[in-house]
Chain A
Amino acid sequence: AQTVTQSQPEMSVQEAETVTLSCTYDTSENNYYLFWYKQPPSRQMILVIRQEAYKQQNATENRFSVNFQKAAKSFSLKISDSQLGDTAMYFCAFMTMEYGNKLVFGAGTILRVKS
C-alpha cells in the first residue's frame, strides 16, 4: 500500500521569503502522479501543482515549484515570494495508476505567512 508522509505539522515564513514543505512517499509502482493541494480556511481544496512520475523535469507554476526526487521518493514544494494569501494547510498526495486512480494524502502541513 502507498503511504505519504509530511513530517512538518506546522511552518511559518515571513512575507516575501521562500519556504519549502517536505513530502516523502512509499510505493512499488513506477508510474504515478503527485500533487500538492492547498486548503485555506474556507476549506476548499485547491490544486497547487502536479508532477507526473515519468517526467524528469520538475513542475513549476508561477511562485510554486517542486523538487521531485524519484529515487529518494521525495516531493517537496517550494513557495517563493510568500504572500499572506498563501496561509493554508498544504497536502501532498499520491495518485495511483491502478483501477480507480485513487489519491492517498499526507497528514498536511499548516503554513502561516507572517507580515
Chain B
Amino acid sequence: NAGVTQTPKFQVLKTGQSMTLQCAQDMNHNSMYWYRQDPGMGLRLIYYSASEGTTDKGEVPNGYNVSRLNKREFSLRLESAAPSQTSVYFCASSDFFGGGVNEQFFGPGTRLTVL
C-alpha cells in the first residue's frame, strides 16, 4: 500500500496563477483533510471531507477550494495564488477503527512557493 500520496512535491508559482494539489489514499478511508504548515504555527486545517460527497471549511479556508472527487481522491485548488499562501501543504486521511477514532495518516507534503 502506498498510503497517502501527494503531487507535486514542489511547486513555484507567480502571484495570480492557479494550481491544484492532488491527494489520493489507498486505505479505503472515509475522511480526508488538507493542512498547511507554517513556521511557528504547527499545522492548520484548511478544508476537510468527513465522507465522500461532503466538504467543510477548516480554520483557514480563505483563498482555497476543494473537491472530493471520489472516496480515494481529495484535491486542493488555489484559484489566484498569493505570497501568503507560500507554505507546506499536507493531505491526510483517517477512519473509525474498532469503535474508536483512528489516527490520521499523512502524505509527504507539497512545498509551495508563491513569488
Contacts and interface: CB of A to CB of B under 8 A. Distances in A.
B26 interface: no
- Among A52, A101, A105, the most chain B Cβ lie within 10 Å of the Cβ of A101
Interface in B30-79: 31, 33, 40-45, 48, 50, 56, 58
Given A43-B109, A45-B90, A102 B42 contact: no
Nearest to A1: B59
A102 B48 CA distance: 8
- Among B42, B94, B103, B104, the most chain A Cβ lie within 10 Å of the Cβ of B42
Interface residues of B, number: 23
Given A103-B43, A107-B40, A33 B104 contact: no
B45 A35 contact: no
B27 interface: no
Given A33-B101, A100-B48, A103-B104, A91 B33 contact: no
A35 B105 CA distance: 12
Interface in A70-115: 91, 95, 97, 99-108
Contact of A101 (B88, B90, B101, B106): B101
A4 B43 CA distance: 11
Given A35-B103, A52-B100, A102-B33, A44 B108 contact: yes
Interface in A36-65: 43-45, 47, 50, 52
A103 B109 CA distance: 17
A77 B31 CA distance: 27
A107 B101 contact: no
Contacts of A47: 103
Contact of B103 (A43, A50, A91, A97): A50
A91 B90 contact: no
A100 B46 CA distance: 13
Interface of B: 31, 33, 40-45, 48, 50, 56, 58, 88, 90, 92, 94, 100-101, 103-104, 106, 108-109
